[in-house]
Each structure stands twice: as C-alpha cells, then as structure tokens.
Structure 1
Amino acid sequence: MPVKKLKISEELRSISRLLLDEGALKQLTSAELVEDALALAVARGVVMYPTPQKKREASVVPLTLLPSPVADDCFHLAKMLTPDFHILMDRVCCDLSWLQDALAKTGAIDEISCKLLEICCSVYNSTTGKDPKDDIRLHLMRNDFMLDTQKGPAEGAMVQIELNMMSASFATHGQDLTEVHRYLLTKYLPRDANLRMEAVSEALSAALPTSSATEGMAEAMSLADKAYKARWQPTGLLQVVLFVALEEEKNELDHRKLELAAFRHGLVALRRSLQQLKGAELRPLAPRPNHTATVREPLALVVDGYEATVVYFRSGYWPQHFVDAWPLRQQMERAEAVKCPSAPAQLAGMKKVQQLLCERNELLKFLPEDQATAVSSTFGKQFDPSSSSKETREAVEAARAHPGDWVLKPQVEGSGELFFDEDIPRILDSRTQEQLAEFILMERVRPPCTPSAILHQGEVVLRSAVAELGIFGTFVAEGGEVRCNKAVGHLLRSKGQQTNQGGVFVGNATVDVPFLTPNDIFWHRVKS
C-alpha cells in the first residue's frame, strides 16, 4: 500500500521554510501571538493542575507556541502501519504461554511483571474457563516514533521507540493544541509573512492534520460497552465506565475531556483510585440467551452500587500505585468488565516484549511475512543484556566501549529514567547477568533538530529541539471478530536537543504539534 503523499503548494513550502528558520520564527512569536496562544490554550482546556490539591489554579500545560516540522512521508507511514501494529499486539495479548515464556526472567526482578503474570495464571485457566482470546478486548494505544538522521531522508528514517498499551496520555491536549496552532498561523502568517489568508488556510488543511483521538477513543469505549451489554444480562444496577486514576493526578483534565467525549456516546464515567476501590465486589452475571459463555462463573464488577462495563486504567503502571491493591487488581481481572488494558495487554506492552518482537522468528509467530516486513521496517536494534547470545554479547561490549551510541531502558512503564553515556557501562558492570534483565539495550536514535519556540519563566525562548511522534490507535475485538482497528489521532512531544530524559510533567518536554513538511525541504534544512 503506497504511503499517502502531502498536497504541496507554494504557500506550504513557504511556511515550512519559515518554521525551519530560527530568525523568522523569532519574528513571528510576537507578544500578541504569545498572549493569544496562552488564552486559547486555556479556552481549549490544554491545562493541568499545579498540584492535585489546587484545582482552581489550573495552568497551561508546557507547550510550544508554534508547530514543529516533521517529514510528511514518515508521518503518513506511521499512520498507515497502525492497523498492522494493533493486530500484532492483540495477537501477543491472546498468547499467554508465549508471554509467560517471554517475561519469565523479567518477572523474577520486576514487581509489575511478576504480579501481572501471577494474575494471568490465577484468572485465565481451565478452572475459570476464562481465555483472553474469548474476551471482549479494548486497546487504546499510542505508538511512539522518532526520525533518525543516521537512516537518511527516506521512509525508512523512522524508528519505533515504544508502543504504549496503557495510560496513553495527552490525546486530548495534542488534539486541542493543533487547533490553537492552526488559528495562530492563520491569523499571523498573512500579516507577518505576506501570505494570503485563503492560501494559508488551504496549506494548513494539508500540513496540520486534525487529530480526532478523543472522539476515536470515546467511540472505541462505546463499542466495548455495547459488546459487554450484548453479551451479559443486566444486573439492574446503573452501568458506568470506570476510570482508574491516581488521587494525586495533575493531568486529570486530559482524562476529563475524554470522559465528556464518552458521554456523547451515552456513557457515564465513575472515577476512582485503586485505593478507593477496595470496597469493590463481584456479583454473578448471566449470559444473554444468544450468547454461550465459556466462563464457568461470569462475574460483574460492582463499585459503590454501579456495575462497571469498561475499566479504563490511567494508573497502575508503577509498583507505588499498588499499595495493598494487588488482590483488588486480580479481582478486577476476574470480572467480565472490559479492561483497558487487561493484564495480558499490559504485559504485552513491556519493553522486553518489544525487544523480542525485533527478532524475526518471534515476529513471524504473530504476523504473516508481508505485515512483519512492514512493521519491522521501523524497528531499531534492541537487545536483552541478560542474554548470552553472541549478538547480545557483542552489543553489550559495544555499549561499554561506545556508550554514547546506546540507551539503556528500564522495564517499568512511565519511569522517565533512561540511562545514557557513562551511566551505561556503570550499570552494565554493577549488575549480575540475571539482574540485567531489568533493562533493554537499544541503539541510540539521532533525531533531526528543528527550531522551537517555548515559554520559559514568562519569556519566549527559541531552542534547538528534537521531537517524538505518537500515533493514537483504537482496537476492539470480541473473540475472533474485530470491531474496530484504526489510527484516530496523533501527538508530538518535543524537548531541547541536549535533554536526554523525556516527560512533560517532569519539565523536560513540551506538548507540540506536527507540521507536515515536504521531504526535500525538511531533510535539507534540519540539523543532526
């Protein structure tokens, strides 16, 4: 399938050159534009709490004032590959024996992996009759990529960084910031760059693609909710979508906008932390007359008098989230409520799984040759440093000798702590071979740098930035029937060129917007 091509006009080429020119960008970011950007971001709800206790003092999320150029072919390729990635991850989720073998060493040293593997063994077995292949499955994913200057200006210049199976954040903020940037460029380019407003609007319709991630995720929730209601007879309780989130959550408004989008599908959300769910209980469920249940004792998840049809986890990826809550997590997995992610799906998102899927023989267990070739075109080189294979030993020695060419990634999702440079040989030399199963060793990506305008302590700062592109996707299946499988939106996050660690809420990165740029202009103007 050919990659979609950008509709290129002279105005689009002119805007692309402007956004890649630091001097022109500085001239465009006037005090008036900054004022508009902040006010419009608040108007669209691109805000967070300074602390969870100060909900009346919400402030703008760290963001860029104008979009960042991204090579258009790479963006469209990432979107095109989305359904293949979803099929891959769903098949991994449904193969528990493969997951258990793949994560055996990781589970011995990583608490999250260990506990989730235990839950899978307890819940999915011949005694209960539960099998993930028979479940209603809802995946709300974000697949993250970076461009790599080492691969050159080609479609193969994109490298997958990770695929997030849970708590894929900033879907709503990225969507709303796109429209803020669209307005700013439409308003200021005709005045400051002498471009016609009609031509600017037409160029932006091609170069600033609308993200519909919020609506797409809400639609997928609705499909999962309908599948649950079609499978199980009503208990007589009010039915809700359960959002599981931290009590101390600064990014609550990103969740709330999704909650409102789900309401447009007739869904009402109940918001609880894991600690607030300790009174949850399981009650018997009966299948609809037209459904033959494989589960021996189907159970409904009941929370404060409500029946949860869908459970959407925005927390539960750090061990600290589970203070005395692991029995509850097992109880939730035992229930027929649709989990996003389920325990198998959360395990499928572990970095060890991503590393194993980089091995051709493992990938071909889940995808046919053509799909495997397509998705693997974006894979970087990854190794399990605890392995004794010849290829791994050579990679570990290369990382010791030239640590600047590598990155060491821990298994824990959302930790924000990657290891670079001289930290790599220090860690490799201070752990036993078994303890190194905590990490994945990945060849370092060298992303292109583009100028970026941000606010720092109230002042406009121009910096050389690198960006990470995320593609949001939704997948809903019931047994062997796929109900939904598509890309629904995107997100760009950027950080200063010299900043190793990511993370918007730890202050290292900003929410950004991709400006799709013709390949010849992008690769000619960017810096490595």
Structure 2
Amino acid sequence: MSQARFTSCIPLPLEEKTLVGVIEKAKDWALMHGVGMRDKKNFTKDAIQIAPFVLLPSPFPRTEFNKAVELQQVLNELMHKVAHNDDFLEHTLQNALQVDEFTANLYEIWVKVRKEGIAQTLSLGLFRSDYLMQQPDGNKIKQVEFNTIASSFGAISSNLPAMNRYILRQLGCGDLIKNMPENKALSGLCSGIIEAYDLFGVPGSVALFVVEEVSYNICDQRFHEFEISETRPDIIIYRKTLNEIFEETSLNDKKQLMLDDKVVAVVYYRSGYEPAQYPSQREWDARLRVEQSTAIKCPSIHYQLAGTKKVQQALAAPGALEQFLGAGAISGRVRDIFTGLYSLDFDDSGERAVEMALADAERFVLKPQREGGGNNLYGADIREALLRMRHSRERAAYILMERILPPLVSGYVVRPGGPVPPPLTDLVSELGIFGVIIGSKDKIYSNRQVGHMLRTKLADANEGGVAAGLGALDSPYLLDL
C-alpha cells in the first residue's frame, strides 16, 4: 500500500539560494550551541562536527503527541513494577537466557545480588519510550520500544527547538513557532540524577557516569554534567569506563562504592548496553561490583532486564498488562499503543510466528535483545535468518514485531560533509518521550514525564539511530488534524 503523506510546515522545495544561505546559518548555530558529535572517521578530542539534523521541524499530530506525553508516567510505573516482579522476569527471559550470552550474564548478576542481599533498594530510571505513527490505524502512535539504559539525546534535543525557531524566523515564518512544543528534557533528566543523589544522603559523595572507551556522542553526555554542575555545584561528577571502574573502585565494609576515597552516590550508565562494551571479564566484574554496592544505579540491573525485547513482547500477551496495571481503562490505553508482537519460542505460537514471517517477511521486523541501533533484521534478511535458525534454540533470543508504516514528509537532512544543498527527500519520524522514576519495590518517590526527542530518517532506511549515523535530530511541529 502507498504511504500517507504529511505536508511540510512551509512549502517546499526552497529556492536554492535561500536554502544554501539558511543551511549555512543553521550549521553555525548548531556548532555554537552544541548540536554536535565527534567525527568517527577522523576522531580527535579537539573538535566536534554538526550532528545530523533536519532543517525544518517535522509535522506530528498534536493529539498523538499529547497521548504519548500523558502515557509516560503510566509506562514508567509499568516498567518499574515489571523490574521488581522476579517471577515474571524469570519466566519471560528463561528461553532467551539459554541462547543469549549477554542477557544471561546480566541475569546472573541480578541473581547473585539478590542472593547476597540487595544493598540499595532504590533504582533511578531515565527512560525513553519510542513511537512511530501507524498509518493504517489512522496515524495513531505505536510503540517501537522502551529504553531503560543510556536513553540518549535528551540534552541535544533540548537545543533543537531553539535552532528550528531560529531557522523559521530566518525564512520569514516566525508565526509558525507557536506550534512547536517546549522541550526541557535536559533539565528534567538531570533533576532525576540530583534527586537520587539527595535521597542517597551522604554529604560529599560523588556521581559516576559510566562511559565508552571513546565517546563520540560527547555533547549529549557532557551537557548533563554541565547542567548538574550549574544547578548543584556541590555534586562532583566522575567519568569512568567499566575497565577503569574495575581498576579504581572498591567496596568498603558498608558496601559503599569507593572512588578516590569518596563514596559514590549515583551511577549513571551511558555505556554497558551491548556485548562489545564488555570485552573481558574485568568489565563484567566491574558491573557486578557496582550492582553489589549501595550506590543508586541508573539503571539497576533489573531495570535493564525489564527493557529487553522479550519483556516488551510478553507485555503484549493477553492479561499481562492487567497483571501490573489492573483491569481497566489504563491497561486499555497502553494496549492501544502496542503493535503485533510475537514470541519465537518453541511452542505452537512460536511456530505460527515463524510461518507468518516466512510467508510475508516485509510485514515484520526481527529484533534481538539489543540496544543501541543497527541490530534489527528486515525483509529478505528475516527469511534468511529464520530459515537458518528455525530448528535452533537461537531463535528464542529474538522477537517478531509487525512493521509500522508511518506517514511520509518531504524535508532536508543536513549532515556533516553532506552535499550543499542537500536533496529534498522523503522522511519518516520517530518520537521519543523521556521519563524519570525513582523508587523501590514498595515505594515510588518520583514519577514524571520530562521531555521528548524526534529522530527522523530517510523513508527507505530501516534503522534510525543518530549515534549509529542512520538518523537525524529533529523537532515536532504539532498539527491539528
């Protein structure tokens, strides 16, 4: 079927001279306001380049945007409850654990810490729920995934609306700015770290950001530090890799995590979500040490397990949501954002899912238990993968999801080193809503929605990760349909 189309907020194409001029202004604005990343091909700590961005804000239905915002607190609480339901997690993940070594290693840490006795019952979640609009359903939002670890681009996305407002004014369309929602994702996310620090309650303690060996997405990470330092100068932040944590930290007799003779209050992971970030046992030992400590983790190991694709699929099963949210309107509202999600376990439903995917692979996405983008399979690759592992336990580590067909919009994507002017291309947008939750099994101290991001990709691109070089940062332009 042909995809529906939204109209750009201003008539396109732009006249070439106008387009070239406004892109030059936009690039300078981006560089001077930290809408940037380090160059993966020519890496140096002394320079950043623009992060890929969409020149004009992309249309998004106001009612669906508001729905996503309003649901975030419900979804925060849902994932919090899932993470604290040991039986549900164990049952949901049992087949994946047999074939997915990475998830099994995370699970092993969770089991070990529970047996020892959990030193810190509080967890901090800086979550992001991602949506595409499903055209056949009348352009209603459908959840793509729920991110519980290293939910990125809250910082840079907070700067995007100001850039888009500047661009619209330069094009003589300042009257359109009223349709762009405010975005305070950065201050909202940082408020969660600050609140967790205060709940920890040890004067002179520090916060620890867990980072990659090489940080390309440096602006997005550093802005969190700068915001916290400006708001709370008393909170000192360290950046350490998992390997450095192994070498430089220890647990004292109170199970406090010690770094440079200081107690660590909060550990915020911007790494640790994919296998390549654990190249040796040292990294796994560091992760275990942090989890054994009294530090408040963002995320705790059970929050990370709750964010796996198998859990997403299990929650779509009949009766699952009601187990956590009760049988009522709230469960119905959440179920309405789910698309078709199917297990590939070795049972009747798993066999039916395999048959469906082999019969019409274009209808589906095959997803492993991974974060960070670039891991999903589409089209002919689904058929090839399922035929290869049809009789292998490996398939239980995947889920099958119905492919979402969002509406198209014409636009310009500005990339570092890209053509000037860029071509006018068909784009699709994915909305992410950020949430903060802090709590224990028995009590939730904070639960709120704190901002959004819009990530836009070429319509014929399967993946949309900005850090992976596949998507572009954007802002929503709200439509009253």
Q: Place the TM-score, normalised by the shorter chain, in its bin.
A: over 0.9
Distance 1:459 1:380 in 2: 37
Distance 1:104 1:475 in 2: 27
Match of 1:142 among 128, 141, 144: 128
Distance 2:57 2:17 in 1: 12
TM-score by length of 2: 0.92
The residue identity in structure 1 corresponding to 2:134 is D
Residues 1:240 and 2:203 aligned together: no
TM-score by length of 1: 0.84
Name the residue aligned to 2:411. Answer: 452
Deviations 1:229-276 (A, max 9, x none): 1xxx66xxx421100000211002211001111121342210000111
The residue identity in structure 2 corresponding to 1:373 is G
Cα deviation, residue 424, structure 1: 1.2
Compare 451-460 and 219-228 and name the one that shifted more: 451-460
Name the residue aligned to 2:443. Answer: 481
Residues 1:152 and 2:138 aligned together: yes
Native 8 Å contact 2:243 2:286 kept in 1 = no
The residue identity in structure 1 corresponding to 2:232 is H
Match of 1:99 among 81, 84, 89: 89
Match of 1:187 among 165, 170, 178: 170
Name the residue aligned to 1:211. Answer: 183
Quick one: structure 1 residues 211 and 387, their matched pair in 2 at CA, closer, same or farther if it must change by over 3 Å? farther
Native 8 Å contact 2:210 2:241 kept in 1 = yes
Deviations 1:202-241 (A, max 9, x none): x423x11111111001111111111111xxx66xxx4211
Match of 1:357 among 315, 331, 340: 315
Quick one: structure 1 residues 331 and 463, their matched pair in 2 at CA, closer, same or farther if it must change by over 3 Å? same
Native 8 Å contact 1:227 1:478 kept in 2 = no
Cα deviation, residue 454, structure 1: 1.7
Distance 1:384 1:364 in 2: 19
Native 8 Å contact 1:136 1:476 kept in 2 = yes
Question: What is the total number of aligned residue pairs between the two structures?
Answer: 465
Distance 1:54 1:472 in 2: 31
Residues 1:517 and 2:475 aligned together: no
Native 8 Å contact 2:373 2:463 kept in 1 = no
Distance 1:257 1:244 in 2: 15
Distance 1:516 1:240 in 2: 40
Match of 1:273 among 237, 241, 256: 241
Name the residue aligned to 1:4. Answer: none
Residues 1:42 and 2:31 aligned together: yes
Name the residue aligned to 1:10. Answer: none
Name the residue aligned to 2:251. Answer: 282
Deviations 1:345-364 (A, max 9, x none): 00000000000000122222
Deviations 1:7-51 (A, max 9, x none): xxxxxxxxx95526433x557952221121111111210111114
SS in 2 for 1:86: helix
Cα deviation, residue 109, structure 1: 1.4
Cα deviation, residue 481, structure 1: 3.0
The residue identity in structure 1 corresponding to 2:274 is W
Residues 1:169 and 2:175 aligned together: no
Quick one: structure 1 residues 18 and 508, their matched pair in 2 at CA, closer, same or farther if it must change by over 3 Å? closer
Residues 1:427 and 2:417 aligned together: no
Cα deviation, residue 457, structure 1: 3.0
Residues 1:501 and 2:463 aligned together: yes
User: Tell me, which stretches of 5 or more residues in structure 2 are unaligned?
Assistant: 1-5
Quick one: structure 1 residues 29 and 242, their matched pair in 2 at CA, closer, same or farther if it must change by over 3 Å? farther
Distance 1:252 1:514 in 2: 24
Match of 1:401 among 332, 347, 359: 359
Name the residue aligned to 1:389. Answer: 348
Distance 2:8 2:286 in 1: 54
Cα deviation, residue 433, structure 1: 4.5
SS in 1 for 2:375: coil
Match of 1:309 among 265, 272, 278: 265
Distance 2:18 2:314 in 1: 45
The residue identity in structure 2 corresponding to 1:425 is R
Cα deviation, residue 179, structure 1: 0.8
Cα deviation, residue 505, structure 1: 2.9
Quick one: structure 1 residues 22 and 268, their matched pair in 2 at CA, closer, same or farther if it must change by over 3 Å? same
Distance 2:440 2:198 in 1: 11
Distance 1:359 1:18 in 2: 38
Native 8 Å contact 1:112 1:317 kept in 2 = no
Compare 455-464 and 92-101 and name the one that shifted more: 455-464
SS in 1 for 2:273: coil
SS in 2 for 1:37: helix
Cα deviation, residue 180, structure 1: 0.5
Compare 27-36 and 166-175 and name the one that shifted more: 27-36
Name the residue aligned to 2:3. Answer: none
Deviations 1:80-112 (A, max 9, x none): 100100010000111122212211111111122
Cα deviation, residue 384, structure 1: 1.3
Distance 1:283 1:29 in 2: 63
Cα deviation, residue 318, structure 1: 1.2
Distance 2:318 2:10 in 1: 38
Residues 1:300 and 2:256 aligned together: yes
SS in 1 for 2:303: helix
SS in 2 for 1:116: helix
Match of 1:78 among 56, 62, 68: 68
Native 8 Å contact 2:7 2:409 kept in 1 = no
SS in 1 for 2:366: strand
Q: How does 1:247-266 map to 2 (within 5 A)?
A: 247-263=213-229, 264-266=231-233
Native 8 Å contact 1:29 1:65 kept in 2 = no
Quick one: structure 1 residues 313 and 28, their matched pair in 2 at CA, closer, same or farther if it must change by over 3 Å? farther
Deviations 1:160-181 (A, max 9, x none): 0000001011111111011110
User: Tell me, which stretches of 5 or more residues in structure 1 are unaligned?
Assistant: 1-15, 191-196, 286-298, 520-528
Cα deviation, residue 404, structure 1: 0.9
Native 8 Å contact 1:145 1:158 kept in 2 = yes
